């Protein structure tokens, strides 16, 4: 009897291994931001590209979207290179990082075409036998994730994944999402889709290797090198044979290592979290190029909402010449000006909607948002982006999107054009 149970267990185990390894691996990697202050997003994605290539996934099966304006930036002390880890000899992750869509092609529309296999360029050609891994890295707000000049709403993401499910484009799909409020993107589930997010639905994610830790070959990069959640899962992959670690084990480890910053969460179909990480990240074990030991990245982790101001302040205080200090002072003033403009515009938005009603305005600020009014939320956010004298997609501006979501819900049954109100709040005039 004992032997029979053992035989059955062995067969079940063998069946599970077959289930994990059936078909091909397909990968979509997206960095949805631009600008040198977002160095970390593009470094994260290029690190992920090399990691997955080293673990056996063919380049033809990896699709990468990245604005690609950081490696060549005049602010980059190592022009043409990106680093995701500090030290004297870290891997240049930009070298050999194959980018399929860059610049103005990095849009929600392109992402949709890539994911659903409907574009004319390089797109997913996965089948019902294949495993798909998606890694999205950028800013986010309640019910949205950002692209350089646009946003993707939670309903849009659901529709994309649901279309993939209906078209039998995967056997299982795992999605790692690095963004503030990323938990708010997973209010609906799609069969066979498992998601891990850097943050819950109500908080910022955290940048890592910032400030004094952002030193490469003796030079400070002047921006954070990575994001805490992303660094933690990728450095875990780098250090071990992921054919011996399950998705659940990696989630538990990364959640623990990121806990000093944000709350790593899991959503969707958790029925296959006993699958090995290699079922999605590649099953060829190759120990990554050794990076020097550094301080725990959590020690320099900074809330994304605060990262631009803290980095600018750090750059100012660590400048070694008068010219450097003058330049850093200009940058610091620009960050402060941008943040003051953002706060003023969103507060003006509330005043225009609820003039003199402090109780109502407080409720809009403090109520946990429910992103269900897609068209209103997207058009109003785009209005702030188009007309604001500030970066509406910055980590600082992201929490103010709660105002938009709550106002769209509160005024859903009215004829108020919130996009127009947002425009008026930005340009400083009044709504007639």
Q: What is the CATH number of the domain that holds 171?
A: 3.40.50.1460
- Of 131, 57, 37, whose CA–CA distance to 98 is shortest? 57
Same domain, 327 and 295: no
Q: Quote the CA–CA distance of 368 and 395 in Å, as a whole number.
A: 18
Residue where a domain stops, chosen among 300, 333, 358: 300
Prediction pTM value: 0.93
Q: Do 291 and 395 belong to one domain?
A: no
Active-site option among 46, 97, 180, 408: 180
- Specify whether 42 is located in the same domain as 101: yes
Q: Does the pLDDT at position 22 exceed 90?
A: no
Shared-domain flag, residues 296 and 329:
no
Q: Tell me, yes or no, whether 278 and 332 share the same domain.
A: no
Indicate whether 189 and 224 sit together in one domain.
Answer: yes
Which CATH number fits the domain that encloses residue 384? 1.10.132.130
- Same domain as 257, residue 335: no
Domain membership of residue 352 (yes or no) is yes
Please count the structural domains in the chain: 2
On the question of pLDDT at 211 being above 80, the answer is yes
Per-residue confidence band for 284, with pLDDT thresholds at 50, 70 and 90:
confident
Q: Which of 250, 269, 300 is the last residue of a domain?
A: 300
Distances (CA, A) of 229 to 60, 188, 262, 385, 421: 27, 23, 8, 27, 36
pLDDT at position 291, please?
Answer: 59
Answer whether residue 314 is part of any domain.
Answer: no
Long-range contacts at 94-98 (CB < 8 A, ≥ 24 apart): 94/42, 94/43, 94/46, 96/50, 97/45, 97/46, 97/49, 97/50, 97/64, 98/49, 98/59, 98/62, 98/64
Q: Is residue 118 part of a domain?
A: yes
Is 312 within the bounds of a domain?
Answer: no
Q: Please write the tens of the pLDDT for every residue from 394-416.
A: 999 999 999 999 999 999 999 99
| Together in a domain, 329 and 290 | no
In a domain, 306, yes or no: no
Of the candidates 70, 25, 22, the one whose C-alpha atom is nearest the C-alpha of residue 44 is 70
Q: What is the DSSP secondary-structure string of 362-418? A: HHHHHSPP----HHHHHHHHHHHHHH-SS-TTSTTTGGGHHHHHHHHHHTTTS---H
- On whether both 49 and 163 belong to a single domain, the answer is yes
Q: Do 285 and 371 fall within a single domain?
A: no
Please give the Cα distance from 424 to 416 (Å, whole number): 13
Question: Which pLDDT band, with edges at 50, 70 and 90, does 120 fall under?
Answer: confident
The domain in which residue 373 lies consists of 319-427
Give the pLDDT confidence score for residue 289 in this predicted structure: 60
| Share of residues in the chain with pLDDT > 70 (%) | 91
pLDDT for 431 beyond 70: no
- pLDDT exceeds cutoff 80 at 38: yes
* 376 is a catalytic site residue: no
Same domain, 200 and 261: yes
Three-state SS at 267: strand
What is the per-residue pLDDT across 74-94, written as a single tens digit (0 to 9) for each? 999 999 999 999 999 999 999
**Quick one: which H or E segment has residue 2?**
helix 2-21
Same domain, 291 and 407: no
Does residue 270 sit within a domain?
A: yes
Classify residue 52: in a domain, yes or no: yes
Residues 163-187, mean pLDDT to the nearest whole number: 98
| Alpha-carbon gap, residue 169 to 164, rounded angstroms | 5
Residue with tokens 């980095």: 311
Q: Any idea what the Cα angle at residue 96 is, between residues 54 and 277, rounded to 5°?
A: 25
| Of 300, 330, 353, the domain-final residue | 300
Among this protein's residues, is 180 annotated catalytic?
yes
End-to-end CA distance of the chain: 83
What does DSSP say about strands 302-303 and 206-208: parallel, antiparallel, or unpaired?
antiparallel
Q: What is the mean pLDDT of residues 135-144?
A: 97
The residue from 25, 50, 139, 153 that is catalytic is 139
The answer as to whether 8 is a domain residue is no
């Amino acid at each position: 009897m004992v032997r029979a149970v053992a035989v059955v267990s062995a067969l079940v185990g063998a069946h599970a291994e077959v289930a994990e390894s059936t078909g091909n691996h397909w990968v979509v990697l997206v960095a949805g931001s631009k600008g040198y202050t977002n160095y970390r997003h593009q470094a994260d994605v290029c690190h992920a590209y090399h990691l997955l290539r080293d673990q056996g996934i063919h380049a033809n099966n990896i699709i990468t979207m990245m604005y690609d304006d950081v490696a060549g930036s005049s602010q980059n002390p190592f022009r043409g290179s990106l680093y995701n880890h500090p030290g004297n000899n870290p891997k240049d992750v930009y070298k050999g990082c194959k980018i399929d869509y860059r610049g103005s092609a990095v849009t929600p529309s392109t992402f949709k075409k890539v994911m659903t296999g409907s574009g004319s360029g390089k797109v997913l050609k996965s089948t019902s036998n294949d495993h798909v891994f998606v890694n999205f890295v950028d800013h986010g707000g309640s019910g949205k994730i950002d692209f350089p000049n646009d946003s993707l709403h939670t309903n849009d993401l659901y529709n994309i994944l649901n279309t993939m499910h209906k078209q039998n484009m995967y056997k299982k799909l795992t999605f790692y999402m690095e963004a503030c409020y990323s938990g708010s993107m997973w209010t609906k589930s799609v069969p066979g889709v498992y998601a891990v997010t850097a943050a819950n639905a109500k908080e910022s994610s955290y940048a890592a290797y910032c400030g004094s830790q952002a030193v490469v070959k003796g030079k400070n990069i002047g921006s954070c090198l990575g994001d805490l959640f992303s660094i933690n899962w990728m450095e875990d992959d780098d250090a071990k044979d992921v054919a011996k670690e399950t998705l659940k084990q990696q989630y538990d480890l990364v959640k623990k290592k990121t806990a000093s910053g944000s709350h790593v969460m899991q959503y969707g179909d958790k029925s296959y979290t006993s699958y090995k990480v290699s079922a999605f990240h590649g099953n060829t074990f190759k120990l990554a190029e050794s990076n020097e030991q550094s301080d725990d990245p959590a020690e320099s982790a900074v809330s994304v909402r605060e990262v631009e101001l803290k980095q600018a302040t750090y750059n100012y205080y660590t400048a070694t010449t008068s010219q450097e200090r003058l330049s850093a002072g200009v940058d610091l003033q620009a960050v402060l000006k941008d943040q003051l403009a953002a706060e003023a515009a969103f507060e003006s938005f509330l005043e225009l909607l609820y003039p003199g009603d402090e109780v109502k305005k407080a409720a809009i600020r403090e109520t946990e948002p429910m992103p269900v009014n897609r068209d209103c939320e997207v058009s109003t956010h785009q209005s702030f982006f188009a007309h604001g004298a500030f970066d509406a997609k910055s980590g600082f501006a992201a929490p103010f999107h709660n105002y938009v979501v709550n106002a769209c819900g509160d005024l859903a049954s009215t004829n108020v054009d919130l996009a127009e109100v947002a425009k008026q709040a930005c340009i400083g005039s009044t709504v007639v």
